[in-house]
Amino acid sequence: MNAPVKPKLRIATTSLAGCFGCHMSFLDIDERLLTLLDLIEFDRSPLTDIKHCGSCDIGIIEGGICNAENVHVLREFRKNCKTLIAIGACAVTGGLPAQRNHLDLGSCLTEVYLTEPGLAHGHIPNDPELPLPLDKVHPLHEVVKIDYFIPGCPPSGDAIWKFLTDLIAGKTPELGHGLIKYD
């Protein structure tokens, strides 16, 4: 009798207020991606272009929360993913976008679109399709429960590989010296 085929783990990924650098770093696992694909399949992700997250085992989110749409996507992931991972400095700490947090949002927009040279006839974008920016940028754990964090800007391919293979093997992921980085 054949052994039952172990179902593949379903993984969704997205980038919120991030730069896709963590996704690029994920691709830095190179040919190990093929090994990974024996164990997992992708749901919503920039790699599949699926637009909404279905029921998943693992959700991986890059980037912090800077606008209303980010909050909706994050909640969709939390609702559908058994395990949610914040990846990269922005998802974990707010990162670069959060460097505006000590400034007033209104003055930021005014300076960028109205008063700075180069946009003499500019106006603050107000198309209804645009998600409204939040007053402050937040790391993911301030909005929903996050199960694991992979710090780094970005975390290296090796760190992501170690973390995911530990998790898939059912172990508590550990990074250790050389793989854990905040920069």
Partner 1 sequence: MTDIFQLDGANIPFEPGQTVMQAALTAGHYIPHLCYHPEFKPHGSCKVCTVKVNGRTAASCTMPAEAGLNVESNIEEMNGLRRTLVQMLFAEGNHFCPSCEKSGNCMLQALGYDLEVHTAGFRHLYPDRPLDASHKDILLDFNRCILCELCVRASAEVDGKDVFALSGRGITKHLIVNAESGLLKDTNIALTDKAMQVCPVGVILPKRVGFSIPIGKRRYDQRPVSAQALDDAPRQADASGSCDVCEGTP
Could you list the residues that contact partner 1 (CB under 8 A)?
Answer: 86, 89, 92-96, 98-99, 101-102, 136, 138-139, 141-142, 146, 148-151, 153, 174-178, 180-183
Find tokens 């199960």 and name the residue. Answer: 147
Least Å from the CB of residue 183 to partner 1: 4
| Cα–Cα distance measured from residue 34 to residue 71, given in angstroms and rounded to the nearest whole number | 32
| Cα–Cα distance measured from residue 153 to residue 28, given in angstroms and rounded to the nearest whole number | 14
Please identify, using beta-carbon distances, which residue of 69 and 104 lies nearer to partner 1.
104
Please identify, using beta-carbon distances, which residue of 67 and 156 lies nearer to partner 1.
156
Collapsing DSSP to helix, strand or coil, 181 comes out as coil
Please identify, using beta-carbon distances, which residue of 33 and 181 lies nearer to partner 1.
181
Angle 142-16-178 from CA coordinates, rounded to 5°: 80
Least Å from the CB of residue 120 to partner 1: 29
Query: 65-67 and 133-138 as β-strands: parallel, antiparallel, unpaired?
Result: antiparallel
Least Å from the CB of residue 70 to partner 1: 16
Straight-line distance from the first to the last Cα atom of the chain, in angstroms, rounded to the nearest whole number: 51
Please identify, using beta-carbon distances, which residue of 44 and 78 lies nearer to partner 1.
78
